[in-house]
Structure 1
């Protein structure tokens, strides 16, 4: 059975012929997922991807110039969003749902607003809106996220909610599921590569009018938000109440930055039902 733990890493050629690494599981309507800060093909929770793949074709990928993808790393968020469009074209996909977690949610929002003719639904997980932060990242986020290597304790703080024993337990379970892949593994981002991500400012400075385009879009958007997201607080979305007519939000209590890793099957259920309507 083709699952996220044993899915083969494949490669697609996009503009200027770099080789972009991706994995594809499941059959059905396509979902392309853009990853978190420092994330790669191996950092998605297999339980979440496999649950999504019960009714969809789920595609994960490495940003150009990172992980197993070749080429020169993009120097803007718009170029990173364009990678999604070009990957879909390379795979012969004309219409798809775009999803993004954390940093990937920023890229997904830009893809949705810049290439709306290709996108049917948006799924934004633990991410922020364009422009200034209403609630900037907590100090502990930078203390943990910028460490050379992250261990389980870091993951618990970064993506879960250590205030609650159930969330701590879920962090260990998610960690073990991710570690189950033993072959055809990805390569971690280098410090230079993830620092390059921090220099891309066109989304956070809203240089392309993404905020206004989100207000005007007809594409339905689902947000999955954690109670104590130390990176991108849920309040960022709550203060925009009424400004984004197509946005629906699911708020997960006793969670952090990665609700889809704490509640993989439930998160996938919400997403699958959202895409079907």
Structure 2
């Protein structure tokens, strides 16, 4: 855990106390209560007639996306080796009550794959952020609130640096800052998340969730994934996973991005799980120190996949932040 200098800690305590009185929904350490992994009976957009995955043309090829809900536009950027189908459907449904929600496949993944089957071998966070910008432009949106999870949070940060005029607010979930102050994934964790075979799924569940939530996650995770009609997330090619790994490695060495983030004008909510085994909550605390207009919430008894563990509470928390 990052050690905060005494003077800063004291002033932070005063600020937190004042903030708690004014707005008790936000604090440095919060609880979302009991995990909501199983038994939800709320709306999910993949059961709504007409919701389907379409494609638009980006500068580097087709981009698969889905768009649903009503309200202010909210763009969600997913993480490492993930398709748009790996968002929790109930989380998306809760967000869609207040927002027009847009989810899309990162390049080389799902429907964002050109006929030739590849996007080249050298691209990074700026390139994937440019793809996100192409989604915004392709849907003729001026500004959007942006939510990024895990590697998607890194892409979201880059988007806010490269095109701040397009980003109304930024929500960063279980992610890490650029530069050497970050705590990267360990090689062992990367191997777990990249795994295949009969034992891969239980290992991934154990990596994404706290021990007391793994049993429910193992039972309900796949059924709770966003599954619009006709959409099947293709297996992520090894070459794409390798490139995403290289992009993250470059991100953790990007001191220029870290310096730029310290001058970012974008209002930002950082949400981290106190039990995140993939990207430790130390990353969230360092992000909060970097970004001038940041609010940090570390969620007790939460792992890396917060949108599956607490889909409704996390959606409410994002709604409250975006609406401020």
The answer, yes or no, to whether TM exceeds 0.5 is yes
Aligned residue number for residue 29 of structure 1 = 72
CA contact (8 A) 2:269 2:295 kept: yes
Note the C-alpha offset of 1:144.
1.3
Mapping of 1:192-271 within 5 angstroms? 192-200=239-247, 201-206=249-254, 209-239=256-286, 242-271=289-318
Cα separation, 2, equivalents of 1:214 and 1:119: 14
Q: Give the direction of change, closer, same or farther, for the CA distance of 1:60–1:241 in structure 2 (3 Å limit).
A: closer
Tell me the SS of whatever aligns to 1:261: helix
Aligned residue number for residue 3 of structure 1 = 45
Cα separation, 2, equivalents of 1:220 and 1:111: 13
Any idea what the Cα deviations from partners look like across 1:256-277, whole Å, max 9, x if unmatched?
A: 1111210000000010111111
- Choose which of 41, 57, 71 in structure 2 pairs with 1:13: 57
Whether 1:86 aligns to 2:134 is yes
The runs of at least 4 aligned residues of structure 1 exceeding 6 Å deviation read none
- Choose which of 149, 152, 155 in structure 2 pairs with 1:104: 152
Aligned residue number for residue 31 of structure 2 = none
Tell me the SS of whatever aligns to 1:121: strand
Whether 1:76 aligns to 2:120 is no
Tell me the SS of whatever aligns to 1:42: helix
CA contact (8 A) 2:192 2:200 kept: no
Whether 1:135 aligns to 2:183 is yes
Any idea what the Cα deviations from partners look like across 1:116-144, whole Å, max 9, x if unmatched?
A: 01111001111001012543434652341
Q: Which runs of 5+ in 1 are unaligned?
A: none
Cα separation, 2, equivalents of 1:192 and 1:177: 28
Q: Give the direction of change, closer, same or farther, for the CA distance of 1:243–1:75 in structure 2 (3 Å limit).
A: closer
Q: Which runs of 5+ in 2 are unaligned?
A: 1-42
Aligned residue number for residue 210 of structure 2 = 161
**Higher alpha-carbon Rg:** 2
